[in-house]
Structure 1
Amino acid sequence: MIDLEEQLKNPVWYSLKETHKNFAVELNGVQFYNPDVCTFGSFFDESKTAKAADEYVKTSDHFFFVSADQTPVIDETKVIFEKKIDGCQMVLNTLPDVSITENIVLLDKSFMDEIYDLVWLVMPGYYKKRTFEMGKYFGIFKNGKLVSITGQRMQTNHLIEVSAVVTHPEYTRQGLAKQLIAHTTKEILRENKTPILHTNKGNPAIALYEKLGYELTRDMNWWLYRKK
Protein backbone atom coordinates (compact mmCIF):
# COMPACT_ATOMS: atom_id res chain seq x y z
CA MET A 1 0.00 0.00 0.00
CA ILE A 2 1.25 3.49 -0.87
CA ASP A 3 1.88 5.49 2.31
CA LEU A 4 0.39 8.88 3.18
CA GLU A 5 3.51 10.91 2.37
CA GLU A 6 3.66 9.55 -1.16
CA GLN A 7 -0.06 10.17 -1.70
CA LEU A 8 0.27 13.77 -0.56
CA LYS A 9 2.72 14.40 -3.41
CA ASN A 10 0.11 13.41 -6.02
CA PRO A 11 -3.35 13.37 -4.40
CA VAL A 12 -5.33 13.45 -7.66
CA TRP A 13 -3.57 10.33 -8.94
CA TYR A 14 -4.09 8.31 -5.79
CA SER A 15 -7.70 9.48 -5.33
CA LEU A 16 -8.43 8.09 -8.79
CA LYS A 17 -6.61 4.86 -8.00
CA GLU A 18 -8.47 4.34 -4.71
CA THR A 19 -11.63 6.03 -3.36
CA HIS A 20 -12.57 7.73 -6.63
CA LYS A 21 -11.60 4.96 -9.03
CA ASN A 22 -15.16 4.87 -10.40
CA PHE A 23 -14.61 8.44 -11.67
CA ALA A 24 -11.27 7.65 -13.33
CA VAL A 25 -10.52 8.13 -17.02
CA GLU A 26 -7.09 6.79 -17.98
CA LEU A 27 -5.52 8.07 -21.21
CA ASN A 28 -1.97 7.19 -22.26
CA GLY A 29 -0.94 6.49 -18.67
CA VAL A 30 -2.41 9.78 -17.40
CA GLN A 31 -5.30 9.84 -14.91
CA PHE A 32 -8.26 12.21 -15.26
CA TYR A 33 -11.57 12.59 -13.50
CA ASN A 34 -14.77 12.04 -15.42
CA PRO A 35 -15.28 15.58 -16.76
CA ASP A 36 -18.90 15.63 -15.53
CA VAL A 37 -17.56 15.35 -11.97
CA CYS A 38 -14.27 17.25 -11.95
CA THR A 39 -11.76 18.40 -14.57
CA PHE A 40 -8.51 17.47 -12.80
CA GLY A 41 -5.77 15.36 -14.37
CA SER A 42 -2.63 13.88 -12.85
CA PHE A 43 0.54 12.22 -14.04
CA PHE A 44 4.00 10.98 -13.14
CA ASP A 45 5.53 11.01 -16.62
CA GLU A 46 5.13 14.45 -18.27
CA SER A 47 6.12 12.99 -21.64
CA LYS A 48 2.69 11.33 -21.75
CA THR A 49 0.58 14.40 -20.99
CA ALA A 50 0.39 15.86 -24.52
CA LYS A 51 -1.26 12.82 -26.09
CA ALA A 52 -3.54 12.36 -23.08
CA ALA A 53 -4.58 16.03 -23.10
CA ASP A 54 -5.43 15.83 -26.80
CA GLU A 55 -7.89 13.04 -26.05
CA TYR A 56 -9.36 14.48 -22.85
CA VAL A 57 -10.01 17.89 -24.37
CA LYS A 58 -12.47 16.20 -26.75
CA THR A 59 -14.74 15.70 -23.72
CA SER A 60 -14.17 18.96 -21.82
CA ASP A 61 -13.42 22.45 -23.11
CA HIS A 62 -11.10 23.08 -20.14
CA PHE A 63 -9.17 21.06 -17.59
CA PHE A 64 -6.39 21.26 -15.02
CA PHE A 65 -3.24 19.26 -14.58
CA VAL A 66 -2.39 19.19 -10.87
CA SER A 67 1.25 18.74 -9.93
CA ALA A 68 3.56 19.56 -7.05
CA ASP A 69 6.74 20.04 -9.06
CA GLN A 70 6.36 18.84 -12.67
CA THR A 71 5.42 20.86 -15.73
CA PRO A 72 2.99 19.18 -18.16
CA VAL A 73 3.82 18.97 -21.86
CA ILE A 74 1.02 19.87 -24.30
CA ASP A 75 0.32 19.88 -28.02
CA GLU A 76 -0.15 23.59 -28.75
CA THR A 77 -1.98 22.82 -31.99
CA LYS A 78 -4.88 21.35 -30.01
CA VAL A 79 -4.64 22.70 -26.48
CA ILE A 80 -4.15 26.24 -25.19
CA PHE A 81 -2.33 26.98 -21.94
CA GLU A 82 -4.37 29.59 -20.08
CA LYS A 83 -2.70 30.06 -16.70
CA LYS A 84 -0.86 28.45 -13.84
CA ILE A 85 -2.38 28.80 -10.38
CA ASP A 86 0.44 28.80 -7.83
CA GLY A 87 -1.09 26.71 -5.09
CA CYS A 88 -0.07 25.13 -1.83
CA GLN A 89 -1.03 22.09 0.18
CA MET A 90 -1.89 22.21 3.87
CA VAL A 91 -2.10 19.19 6.15
CA LEU A 92 -3.70 19.04 9.59
CA ASN A 93 -1.32 18.85 12.53
CA THR A 94 -3.64 19.21 15.54
CA LEU A 95 -7.21 20.51 15.51
CA PRO A 96 -7.75 22.98 18.36
CA ASP A 97 -10.98 23.17 20.32
CA VAL A 98 -13.53 25.14 18.30
CA SER A 99 -16.91 26.09 19.72
CA ILE A 100 -19.68 24.96 17.36
CA THR A 101 -22.67 27.24 17.93
CA GLU A 102 -24.33 26.89 14.52
CA ASN A 103 -26.60 24.08 13.38
CA ILE A 104 -24.46 22.28 10.80
CA VAL A 105 -26.40 20.06 8.41
CA LEU A 106 -25.18 17.13 6.31
CA LEU A 107 -26.42 18.05 2.82
CA ASP A 108 -28.01 15.36 0.70
CA LYS A 109 -28.44 15.20 -3.07
CA SER A 110 -31.54 17.41 -2.95
CA PHE A 111 -29.25 20.38 -2.23
CA MET A 112 -27.01 19.88 -5.28
CA ASP A 113 -28.46 22.88 -7.12
CA GLU A 114 -28.22 25.19 -4.10
CA ILE A 115 -24.61 24.16 -3.49
CA TYR A 116 -23.77 24.75 -7.14
CA ASP A 117 -25.42 28.20 -7.13
CA LEU A 118 -23.63 29.28 -3.95
CA VAL A 119 -20.20 28.12 -5.17
CA TRP A 120 -20.68 29.88 -8.51
CA LEU A 121 -21.80 33.06 -6.76
CA VAL A 122 -18.62 33.22 -4.68
CA MET A 123 -16.07 31.31 -6.80
CA PRO A 124 -17.39 31.13 -10.38
CA GLY A 125 -15.70 29.01 -12.98
CA TYR A 126 -15.00 25.36 -12.47
CA TYR A 127 -17.26 23.66 -9.93
CA LYS A 128 -19.54 21.02 -11.49
CA LYS A 129 -22.90 19.94 -10.10
CA ARG A 130 -21.63 16.37 -9.87
CA THR A 131 -18.59 17.49 -7.86
CA PHE A 132 -21.03 16.92 -5.02
CA GLU A 133 -20.52 13.17 -5.55
CA MET A 134 -16.86 13.34 -4.53
CA GLY A 135 -17.59 13.49 -0.80
CA LYS A 136 -19.75 14.79 2.01
CA TYR A 137 -21.02 18.38 2.07
CA PHE A 138 -22.07 20.31 5.15
CA GLY A 139 -24.01 23.55 5.35
CA ILE A 140 -25.40 26.28 7.55
CA PHE A 141 -28.81 27.81 6.87
CA LYS A 142 -30.14 31.25 7.79
CA ASN A 143 -33.84 31.99 7.38
CA GLY A 144 -34.23 28.81 5.36
CA LYS A 145 -31.43 29.77 2.96
CA LEU A 146 -28.15 27.87 2.49
CA VAL A 147 -25.51 30.51 3.23
CA SER A 148 -22.28 28.66 4.00
CA ILE A 149 -20.81 25.28 3.04
CA THR A 150 -17.78 23.07 3.15
CA GLY A 151 -17.24 19.90 1.18
CA GLN A 152 -14.88 17.00 0.64
CA ARG A 153 -13.10 16.54 -2.66
CA MET A 154 -10.04 14.33 -3.28
CA GLN A 155 -9.98 11.15 -1.20
CA THR A 156 -7.72 8.13 -0.77
CA ASN A 157 -7.38 5.34 1.77
CA HIS A 158 -5.27 7.73 3.88
CA LEU A 159 -6.56 11.27 3.30
CA ILE A 160 -9.60 13.42 2.57
CA GLU A 161 -9.42 16.97 1.22
CA VAL A 162 -11.53 19.78 2.66
CA SER A 163 -12.83 21.90 -0.21
CA ALA A 164 -15.59 24.26 -1.37
CA VAL A 165 -15.25 26.53 1.66
CA VAL A 166 -17.81 29.12 0.60
CA THR A 167 -19.96 31.69 2.43
CA HIS A 168 -22.55 33.99 0.90
CA PRO A 169 -21.19 37.59 0.85
CA GLU A 170 -24.04 38.77 3.10
CA TYR A 171 -23.01 36.33 5.85
CA THR A 172 -19.23 36.61 5.99
CA ARG A 173 -17.27 37.58 9.14
CA GLN A 174 -19.64 35.59 11.36
CA GLY A 175 -17.37 32.62 11.96
CA LEU A 176 -19.43 30.29 9.77
CA ALA A 177 -16.52 29.02 7.67
CA LYS A 178 -14.41 28.44 10.78
CA GLN A 179 -17.09 26.25 12.34
CA LEU A 180 -17.74 24.36 9.11
CA ILE A 181 -14.04 23.63 8.52
CA ALA A 182 -13.68 22.42 12.11
CA HIS A 183 -16.76 20.22 11.75
CA THR A 184 -15.64 18.76 8.44
CA THR A 185 -12.16 18.15 9.83
CA LYS A 186 -13.63 16.24 12.77
CA GLU A 187 -15.69 14.11 10.39
CA ILE A 188 -12.53 13.19 8.48
CA LEU A 189 -10.69 12.32 11.68
CA ARG A 190 -13.59 10.04 12.67
CA GLU A 191 -12.83 8.06 9.51
CA ASN A 192 -9.22 7.70 10.69
CA LYS A 193 -7.97 9.68 7.72
CA THR A 194 -5.74 12.75 7.46
CA PRO A 195 -7.48 16.05 6.63
CA ILE A 196 -5.77 18.16 3.97
CA LEU A 197 -6.70 21.19 1.90
CA HIS A 198 -5.38 23.17 -1.04
CA THR A 199 -5.48 26.87 -1.76
CA ASN A 200 -3.63 29.47 -3.80
CA LYS A 201 -0.52 31.09 -2.37
CA GLY A 202 -1.22 34.38 -0.65
CA ASN A 203 -4.86 33.57 0.06
CA PRO A 204 -5.87 35.49 3.23
CA ALA A 205 -7.77 32.37 4.32
CA ILE A 206 -4.43 30.63 5.01
CA ALA A 207 -4.31 32.45 8.35
CA LEU A 208 -7.67 30.89 9.31
CA TYR A 209 -6.54 27.43 8.21
CA GLU A 210 -3.41 27.78 10.33
CA LYS A 211 -5.48 28.75 13.37
CA LEU A 212 -7.44 25.55 12.80
CA GLY A 213 -4.29 23.47 12.97
CA TYR A 214 -3.36 23.13 9.29
CA GLU A 215 0.27 23.55 8.26
CA LEU A 216 1.75 24.46 4.88
CA THR A 217 3.60 21.45 3.51
CA ARG A 218 4.39 21.84 -0.21
CA ASP A 219 3.49 23.55 -3.45
CA MET A 220 0.58 22.10 -5.37
CA ASN A 221 0.00 23.83 -8.67
CA TRP A 222 -2.96 23.89 -11.05
CA TRP A 223 -2.17 24.24 -14.76
CA LEU A 224 -5.30 25.35 -16.64
CA TYR A 225 -5.74 24.41 -20.31
CA ARG A 226 -8.51 24.99 -22.84
CA LYS A 227 -9.50 23.44 -26.11
CA LYS A 228 -8.07 25.34 -29.08
Structure 2
Amino acid sequence: MRHILDRPIWSALDTVHADLAEGSERARRYPPSIVPFAAAADNTPESLEALEDLPEADETMLLVEAGPIAIPPGLVVVSEALAVQMVAERPHERIVDNRIQPLDQSDAEEMLALATLTKPGPFTLRAQSLGPFWGIKTEGRLIAMAGQRLRQTGFAELSGLCTHPEFQRRGLGTLLFRFVAGEIATQGETAYLHAYAINTPAIALYKSLGFRLRCEMNLRIVKRRA
Protein backbone atom coordinates (compact mmCIF):
# COMPACT_ATOMS: atom_id res chain seq x y z
CA MET A 1 0.00 0.00 0.00
CA ARG A 2 1.34 3.42 -0.97
CA HIS A 3 2.32 5.90 1.72
CA ILE A 4 0.76 9.36 1.43
CA LEU A 5 4.28 10.79 0.96
CA ASP A 6 5.22 8.47 -1.93
CA ARG A 7 3.50 10.88 -4.33
CA PRO A 8 3.84 14.05 -2.22
CA ILE A 9 2.76 16.51 -4.88
CA TRP A 10 -0.38 14.59 -5.80
CA SER A 11 -1.34 13.92 -2.20
CA ALA A 12 -0.87 17.61 -1.30
CA LEU A 13 -3.03 18.76 -4.21
CA ASP A 14 -5.61 16.12 -3.33
CA THR A 15 -5.85 17.14 0.34
CA VAL A 16 -4.62 20.30 2.11
CA HIS A 17 -3.71 22.19 -1.07
CA ALA A 18 -6.75 21.12 -3.10
CA ASP A 19 -7.88 24.75 -3.33
CA LEU A 20 -4.67 25.57 -5.23
CA ALA A 21 -4.93 22.69 -7.71
CA GLU A 22 -5.24 23.13 -11.45
CA GLY A 23 -6.27 20.17 -13.58
CA SER A 24 -8.62 17.27 -12.93
CA GLU A 25 -9.04 14.08 -10.93
CA ARG A 26 -6.46 12.49 -13.25
CA ALA A 27 -3.59 15.02 -13.06
CA ARG A 28 -3.01 18.24 -11.17
CA ARG A 29 -0.47 20.98 -10.77
CA TYR A 30 0.09 24.12 -8.74
CA PRO A 31 -0.30 27.45 -10.53
CA PRO A 32 3.14 28.05 -12.13
CA SER A 33 3.32 31.45 -10.43
CA ILE A 34 3.44 29.61 -7.07
CA VAL A 35 5.60 26.56 -7.80
CA PRO A 36 6.14 24.38 -10.92
CA PHE A 37 5.08 21.11 -9.25
CA ALA A 38 2.72 18.64 -10.94
CA ALA A 39 1.65 15.02 -10.63
CA ALA A 40 -0.54 12.37 -12.18
CA ALA A 41 -2.94 10.50 -9.93
CA ASP A 42 -1.42 7.18 -11.07
CA ASN A 43 0.30 5.64 -14.08
CA THR A 44 -2.80 4.74 -16.06
CA PRO A 45 -2.89 5.95 -19.69
CA GLU A 46 -5.76 8.30 -18.82
CA SER A 47 -3.81 9.98 -16.00
CA LEU A 48 -0.63 10.29 -18.04
CA GLU A 49 -2.59 11.85 -20.90
CA ALA A 50 -4.08 14.36 -18.46
CA LEU A 51 -0.58 15.16 -17.14
CA GLU A 52 0.61 15.73 -20.69
CA ASP A 53 -2.14 18.30 -21.21
CA LEU A 54 -1.24 20.46 -18.19
CA PRO A 55 1.73 22.59 -19.35
CA GLU A 56 1.75 25.31 -21.96
CA ALA A 57 4.37 25.11 -24.71
CA ASP A 58 6.90 27.23 -22.81
CA GLU A 59 6.35 25.76 -19.33
CA THR A 60 8.30 23.15 -17.42
CA MET A 61 6.88 20.99 -14.62
CA LEU A 62 8.67 19.27 -11.75
CA LEU A 63 7.59 15.73 -10.83
CA VAL A 64 8.64 13.96 -7.62
CA GLU A 65 7.75 10.37 -6.69
CA ALA A 66 9.13 7.49 -4.64
CA GLY A 67 8.99 5.02 -7.52
CA PRO A 68 9.85 5.28 -11.21
CA ILE A 69 8.16 8.28 -12.83
CA ALA A 70 6.19 7.39 -15.95
CA ILE A 71 6.46 10.07 -18.64
CA PRO A 72 3.74 10.33 -21.32
CA PRO A 73 4.89 10.48 -24.95
CA GLY A 74 3.94 14.14 -25.30
CA LEU A 75 6.42 15.24 -22.64
CA VAL A 76 10.22 15.17 -22.68
CA VAL A 77 12.58 15.03 -19.69
CA VAL A 78 14.70 18.17 -19.36
CA SER A 79 16.66 17.00 -16.32
CA GLU A 80 16.45 14.42 -13.57
CA ALA A 81 18.00 13.75 -10.19
CA LEU A 82 17.84 11.44 -7.21
CA ALA A 83 16.62 12.88 -3.91
CA VAL A 84 15.85 11.56 -0.46
CA GLN A 85 12.82 12.11 1.71
CA MET A 86 13.38 12.48 5.44
CA VAL A 87 10.79 12.45 8.23
CA ALA A 88 11.00 13.70 11.80
CA GLU A 89 11.58 10.80 14.17
CA ARG A 90 9.74 12.58 16.98
CA PRO A 91 7.80 15.84 17.50
CA HIS A 92 10.19 18.76 17.91
CA GLU A 93 9.79 21.16 20.79
CA ARG A 94 8.40 24.60 20.09
CA ILE A 95 11.10 27.29 20.17
CA VAL A 96 10.69 30.88 21.29
CA ASP A 97 13.41 33.22 20.00
CA ASN A 98 12.86 36.95 19.55
CA ARG A 99 15.20 37.00 16.55
CA ILE A 100 12.69 34.96 14.53
CA GLN A 101 9.73 36.81 13.01
CA PRO A 102 6.92 35.80 10.66
CA LEU A 103 7.33 36.93 7.07
CA ASP A 104 4.51 38.27 4.94
CA GLN A 105 3.89 39.44 1.40
CA SER A 106 5.79 42.66 2.02
CA ASP A 107 8.91 40.47 2.38
CA ALA A 108 8.30 38.52 -0.84
CA GLU A 109 10.84 40.27 -3.05
CA GLU A 110 13.58 40.02 -0.43
CA MET A 111 12.71 36.35 0.15
CA LEU A 112 12.98 35.65 -3.58
CA ALA A 113 16.32 37.47 -3.74
CA LEU A 114 17.69 35.38 -0.86
CA ALA A 115 16.41 32.15 -2.43
CA THR A 116 17.85 33.11 -5.81
CA LEU A 117 21.23 33.71 -4.19
CA THR A 118 21.33 30.53 -2.10
CA LYS A 119 19.22 28.15 -4.26
CA PRO A 120 17.30 26.10 -1.66
CA GLY A 121 14.93 24.87 -4.39
CA PRO A 122 12.10 26.24 -6.56
CA PHE A 123 10.96 29.58 -5.15
CA THR A 124 8.67 32.36 -6.37
CA LEU A 125 7.14 35.59 -5.16
CA ARG A 126 4.02 33.61 -4.23
CA ALA A 127 5.78 30.91 -2.18
CA GLN A 128 3.86 32.00 0.90
CA SER A 129 0.66 30.72 -0.72
CA LEU A 130 1.83 27.23 0.27
CA GLY A 131 2.43 27.88 3.96
CA PRO A 132 3.94 30.24 6.52
CA PHE A 133 7.54 31.43 6.45
CA TRP A 134 9.73 32.90 9.17
CA GLY A 135 12.97 34.82 8.97
CA ILE A 136 15.78 36.53 10.80
CA LYS A 137 16.68 40.10 9.93
CA THR A 138 19.54 42.37 10.85
CA GLU A 139 19.10 46.12 10.47
CA GLY A 140 15.94 45.40 8.50
CA ARG A 141 17.72 43.07 6.06
CA LEU A 142 16.53 39.48 5.66
CA ILE A 143 19.50 37.19 6.25
CA ALA A 144 17.91 33.77 6.87
CA MET A 145 14.54 32.09 6.40
CA ALA A 146 12.63 28.82 6.37
CA GLY A 147 9.01 27.76 6.01
CA GLN A 148 6.49 25.17 4.92
CA ARG A 149 5.81 24.04 1.36
CA LEU A 150 3.94 20.82 0.47
CA ARG A 151 1.26 19.83 2.96
CA GLN A 152 -0.79 16.65 3.25
CA THR A 153 -3.20 15.44 5.89
CA GLY A 154 -1.01 14.98 8.96
CA PHE A 155 2.23 16.12 7.28
CA ALA A 156 4.00 19.38 6.41
CA GLU A 157 7.20 19.82 4.41
CA LEU A 158 9.96 21.92 5.92
CA SER A 159 11.42 23.89 3.02
CA GLY A 160 13.03 27.11 1.81
CA LEU A 161 15.78 26.91 4.44
CA CYS A 162 18.57 29.31 3.51
CA THR A 163 21.05 31.76 5.02
CA HIS A 164 22.84 34.61 3.29
CA PRO A 165 26.50 33.62 2.66
CA GLU A 166 27.72 36.56 4.76
CA PHE A 167 25.91 35.15 7.80
CA GLN A 168 26.50 31.43 7.47
CA ARG A 169 28.21 29.29 10.16
CA ARG A 170 26.46 31.21 12.93
CA GLY A 171 23.79 28.61 13.66
CA LEU A 172 20.96 30.61 12.08
CA GLY A 173 19.96 27.84 9.67
CA THR A 174 19.89 25.25 12.43
CA LEU A 175 17.85 27.58 14.62
CA LEU A 176 15.25 28.17 11.90
CA PHE A 177 15.18 24.46 11.04
CA ARG A 178 14.38 23.56 14.64
CA PHE A 179 11.88 26.43 14.89
CA VAL A 180 9.86 25.39 11.82
CA ALA A 181 9.96 21.72 12.85
CA GLY A 182 8.59 22.81 16.24
CA GLU A 183 5.82 24.85 14.64
CA ILE A 184 4.80 21.87 12.51
CA ALA A 185 4.72 19.60 15.56
CA THR A 186 2.61 22.16 17.43
CA GLN A 187 0.05 21.92 14.60
CA GLY A 188 -0.17 18.19 15.34
CA GLU A 189 1.57 17.33 12.07
CA THR A 190 4.74 15.41 11.21
CA ALA A 191 7.56 17.38 9.61
CA TYR A 192 9.36 16.02 6.56
CA LEU A 193 11.75 17.35 3.94
CA HIS A 194 13.51 16.59 0.68
CA ALA A 195 17.21 16.86 -0.14
CA TYR A 196 19.31 15.92 -3.14
CA ALA A 197 20.89 12.52 -2.55
CA ILE A 198 24.35 13.90 -3.35
CA ASN A 199 24.04 16.55 -0.62
CA THR A 200 25.51 14.32 2.05
CA PRO A 201 26.51 17.14 4.44
CA ALA A 202 22.91 18.39 4.58
CA ILE A 203 21.56 14.87 5.04
CA ALA A 204 23.98 14.28 7.91
CA LEU A 205 22.90 17.55 9.52
CA TYR A 206 19.21 16.68 9.23
CA LYS A 207 19.88 13.29 10.82
CA SER A 208 21.60 15.03 13.73
CA LEU A 209 18.51 17.22 14.11
CA GLY A 210 16.16 14.27 14.52
CA PHE A 211 15.15 13.31 10.97
CA ARG A 212 15.47 9.84 9.46
CA LEU A 213 15.65 8.69 5.86
CA ARG A 214 12.26 7.40 4.74
CA CYS A 215 12.97 6.63 1.10
CA GLU A 216 14.71 7.69 -2.09
CA MET A 217 12.75 9.97 -4.41
CA ASN A 218 12.99 10.43 -8.15
CA LEU A 219 12.83 13.95 -9.52
CA ARG A 220 12.20 14.85 -13.14
CA ILE A 221 11.69 18.20 -14.86
CA VAL A 222 9.61 17.86 -18.02
CA LYS A 223 8.22 20.02 -20.81
CA ARG A 224 6.07 19.57 -23.88
CA ARG A 225 7.75 17.72 -26.70
CA ALA A 226 8.51 20.07 -29.61
Q: Same fold (TM over 0.5)?
A: yes
Residue 39 (str. 1) matches residue 39 (str. 2): no
Q: Distance in 2 between matches of 1:164 and 1:94?
A: 21
> Structure 1 residues 99, 55: CA separation in 2 closer, same or farther (over 3 Å shift)?
closer
> Structure 1 residues 174, 102: CA separation in 2 closer, same or farther (over 3 Å shift)?
farther
Residue of structure 2 aligned with 1:21, choices 13, 18, 23: 18
Scaled by the length of structure 2, the TM-score of the pair is 0.89
> Structure 1 residues 132, 184: CA separation in 2 closer, same or farther (over 3 Å shift)?
same
1:66 matched to which residue of 2?
A: 64
1:193 matched to which residue of 2?
A: 189
Residue 109 (str. 1) matches residue 91 (str. 2): no
Q: Distance in 2 between matches of 1:120 and 1:161?
A: 20
Q: Secondary structure at the match of 1:6?
A: coil
Q: Secondary structure at the match of 1:74?
A: coil
User: Cα distance, 1:51 vs. partner?
Assistant: 2.3
User: Cα distance, 1:202 vs. partner?
Assistant: 2.3
1:6 matched to which residue of 2?
A: 3
> Structure 1 residues 99, 16: CA separation in 2 closer, same or farther (over 3 Å shift)?
closer
Q: Which runs of 5+ in 2 are unaligned?
A: none
Q: Distance in 2 between matches of 1:156 and 1:96?
A: 18
The count of corresponding residues between Structure 1 and Structure 2 is: 223
Q: Is the 8 A contact 2:26 2:40 kept in 1?
A: yes
1:143 matched to which residue of 2?
A: 139
Q: Distance in 2 between matches of 1:10 and 1:150?
A: 23
Scaled by the length of structure 1, the TM-score of the pair is 0.88
> Structure 1 residues 196, 103: CA separation in 2 closer, same or farther (over 3 Å shift)?
same
Q: Distance in 2 between matches of 1:72 and 1:183?
A: 37
Q: Secondary structure at the match of 1:147?
A: strand
Give the RMSD, CA atoms, in angstroms: 2.4
2:87 matched to which residue of 1?
A: 91
User: Cα distance, 1:177 vs. partner?
Assistant: 0.6
Q: Which has the higher helix share?
A: 1
User: Cα distance, 1:176 vs. partner?
Assistant: 0.6
Q: Secondary structure at the match of 2:5?
A: helix
Correspondences of 1:125-136 after superposition (within 5 Å):
126-136=122-132
Q: Which runs of 5+ in 1 are unaligned?
A: none
> Structure 1 residues 41, 99: CA separation in 2 closer, same or farther (over 3 Å shift)?
closer
Identity of aligned residues (%): 27
Q: Distance in 1 between matches of 2:209 and 2:55?
A: 38
Q: Secondary structure at the match of 1:86?
A: strand
User: Cα distance, 1:52 vs. partner?
Assistant: 2.7
Q: Is the 8 A contact 1:98 1:179 kept in 2?
A: no
